[in-house]
Chains A and B, each alone.
Chain A
């Protein structure tokens, strides 16, 4: 069966252009969709995939620079030894770390919404889920930023190069205990996940392969004064290892090279890519084809992505509007559609947690399963209520919230300062609905449906929207329209992209 045929030009229209923006980025407003359609398919894909090389040279958060952790620790220890109150100092350090990670999340969401290269950010998000690493164990926002930077710089590049860089990435090394691995006691955590989750998948290696490769990855260390990778030759196991049928004094990079030569590797990555960008259940044919393309391109990601986003299969009716928005997609795309700023950092962080995808803190090294796993009765209701906040601002909070915020309710923080942080203005709905059609419910609904839904909802739902407006016949003010937008977002259909 032939798969990955290019989409004919005749099929390039608003719907397919919107689909490209949805999946290869974080959606588009009607104006952006029109502009993308106008470019033509080839140019639209090129703009996403062939971003200028300096697109990855993004301005880092002000605090994101290496610090002499060793010195800071010594300082705390010295204070302790002097009998001083070192706990205050230690707490200050922890507080600062907490603020930094909130800021890092804000910084990345901002790149997704406002940055010049949405696919680059989305691919970085793909790699973050693939090489899942959590601040909860790493405990240093600088290292999380450094990993994010590595993922972004290599997002469209060579997969083998990326795996090698990740094997030397301090955050990953800490997350999977690689920097603790000693010649006498090789730690198997990294070696196991390298195979199970990062390259070939379960069932394609033996316990023997894990033990031998763990030996090959000895000598990887982190310099705590510079916070960078350091190689310690004396900790390296120079003995002969036998890995997947090859013997010799193999080192970590040799192991990665051998893994990339396994047929299972291209299949594993190809399937995951297709699941992330296209559909939950890829067919065997699709996986085989993508794997073949990955091998043809020597694991270079850019040409593979170009082929995926140009393929008729990507634009098929089965695929469009069939994917459940990830929580990150939900936050960024909804902000874009509402033409509103991102929710305040502390609110966004809470929302990510409640919806089940908090960046820089995946639940475990497997990352996020995605698909139907995003949705439970709990997360669905949360999405509906979060839409309310995004649309109507902080007026939705209970009237006594301001008072509660001054108490020690940890849910919404414990200071009036936090009340300031969750403040949000209602959206300017007048921007989407010109005054002259406000008295015409079907036209208002039509206009808003086009903006907020990629696939038109069923007629029954359209009717319900119209009836809602009709029930407010005398009141077509902004408040009513915001309620309508909230109703539109409080539907199963709005969760799809």
Chain B
């Protein structure tokens, strides 16, 4: 005899679970705005240290051509922004966005006492800490902790194999996945639409009460965020952490797959991993997943040797993927609600090296793209002659850009999330 449970259908089961979650959310002081109708941030990491000088090119500066005899981009190749600054020739999509008034270029972004280790500098960007402080919580994790308590786990969605440290929080929030088709539990028997008995029991095993308790944990967070010392990824015991992740996986997989089935891209996307990630993000936005922050990344920017070809390819991939996303969002009517921000752990050395590449450097530009963005050049292009050990001196702290996004876009108190006040920019 089959147990009664086996006759439950999927929607009934889900309704029960989500009802319980919604009730929880209502009790907690949190941002009522979700990604369903509110603003959305897409963070795009260019991993490996993108060469800022060949991305936003100071083509009129002689010092650039002297320092880059082999790698330099000449005035007749680049896409000119003004009489001094131009975009990499591969960034045609971004150039149009600039001309339409949807691209802000923040120049010379960095932080004091720059670290040239990939890992440490990435950590600094992900945690928004000072260079000499070790902090384990990510800056987006602190946003989730402070402003999204009790929210659906999909308030943060990272596309990739690993959860970015930026999402690390006291009370872990957010889901990570790379391939849609694998982001679901597959029971041993292949069902015919109805949920299999195994799957129903599986659901019971992966929605333990402990997870609900941890969801409402109130942690002590105030104005002293910056003083939190780096230790564990979060305060949960290992088993609690696993149970919490299991519940998040189950609930979010149901939602995400339902949306993915229903919403298909409205524009063609190019090949490549970044384009695939942005394609998923745009479908989730179209389907109204209650996400405030999406995270995607593109790798391969550590161009120590033979940079000329590899960087050109990377710029092309980046440009084409972002252009497809923008076209898709416009088609959906969501471009006004989405803001995309790029970052890389550092720029590269001004002087090219002996292997036709560039070594780890410091300050670099960030791109901010969106329907509501005010186009223009922000910050100041760093001098190519007044250098610090061969590297550019930053003039805009990256946390000022984060603060802008938090205060003006996500409507979250940046001082609480970042630990202190940083001057914001008029990007939005």
Within 8 A of A (CB), among B266-310: 304
| Cross-chain contact A471 with B205 (CB below 8 angstroms) | no
| Cross-chain contact A380 with B246 (CB below 8 angstroms) | yes
A residues near B (Cβ < 8 Å) are 177, 180, 185, 192, 196, 202, 280-281, 322-324, 353-354, 356, 363-364, 366, 371-373, 375-382, 384-385, 388, 391-392, 396, 399, 458, 460-461, 464-465, 467-468, 470-474, 479, 482-483, 486-487, 490-493, 495-496
CA distance A382 to B6 in the complex (A): 24
| Cross-chain contact B252 with A373 (CB below 8 angstroms) | no
B residues in contact with A378, CB < 8 Å: 161, 175-178, 182-183, 249
Q: Given A324-B242, A385-B185, do A460 and B162 touch, yes or no (CB 8 Å)?
A: no
Beta-carbon nearest neighbor of A324 in chain B: B238
Contacting A356 at CB < 8 Å: which of B1, B162, B248?
Answer: B162
Q: Given A388-B188, A492-B239, do A471 and B246 touch, yes or no (CB 8 Å)?
A: no
CA distance A384 to B183 in the complex (A): 11
CA distance A103 to B73 in the complex (A): 44
Q: Given A378-B183, A473-B1, A493-B239, do A460 and B252 touch, yes or no (CB 8 Å)?
A: no
| Cross-chain contact B242 with A471 (CB below 8 angstroms) | no
B residues in contact with A376, CB < 8 Å: 158, 161-163, 175-177, 245
| Cross-chain contact A192 with B238 (CB below 8 angstroms) | no
CB < 8 Å A-B pair total: 150
Contacting B245 at CB < 8 Å: which of A185, A281, A375, A464?
Answer: A375
| Cross-chain contact A388 with B186 (CB below 8 angstroms) | yes
Q: SS class of chain A's interface: helix, strand, loop or mixed?
A: helix
| Cross-chain contact B185 with A377 (CB below 8 angstroms) | no
Give min CB distance, A32 to chain B, whole Å.
25
CA distance A173 to B208 in the complex (A): 49
Q: B16 near A: Cβ within 8 Å?
A: no
CA distance A189 to B1 in the complex (A): 66
Q: B261 near A: Cβ within 8 Å?
A: no
| Cross-chain contact B197 with A468 (CB below 8 angstroms) | yes
B residues in contact with A487, CB < 8 Å: 198, 201-202, 205
Q: Given A192-B117, A385-B182, do A490 and B176 touch, yes or no (CB 8 Å)?
A: no
B residues near A (Cβ < 8 Å) are 1-3, 5-6, 117-120, 153, 158, 161-163, 175-178, 182-190, 197-198, 201-202, 204-206, 208, 231-234, 238-239, 241-243, 245-246, 248-249, 252-253, 304, 354-355
B residues in contact with A458, CB < 8 Å: 208
Give min CB distance, B2 to chain A, whole Å.
6
Contacting B188 at CB < 8 Å: which of A371, A392, A460?
Answer: A392
Contacting A464 at CB < 8 Å: which of B205, B232, B238, B354?
Answer: B205
Beta-carbon nearest neighbor of B176 in chain A: A376
A residues in contact with B178, CB < 8 Å: 354, 378
CA distance A460 to B210 in the complex (A): 12
| Cross-chain contact A377 with B176 (CB below 8 angstroms) | yes
A residues in contact with B161, CB < 8 Å: 353-354, 356, 376, 378-379
Beta-carbon nearest neighbor of B236 in chain A: A372
| Cross-chain contact A492 with B206 (CB below 8 angstroms) | yes
Question: Can you list 14 pairs linking A and B with CB atoms under 8 Å apart?
Answer: A354-B182, A356-B161, A375-B245, A376-B163, A377-B175, A377-B248, A377-B249, A384-B186, A468-B198, A471-B3, A471-B201, A483-B188, A486-B198, A492-B208
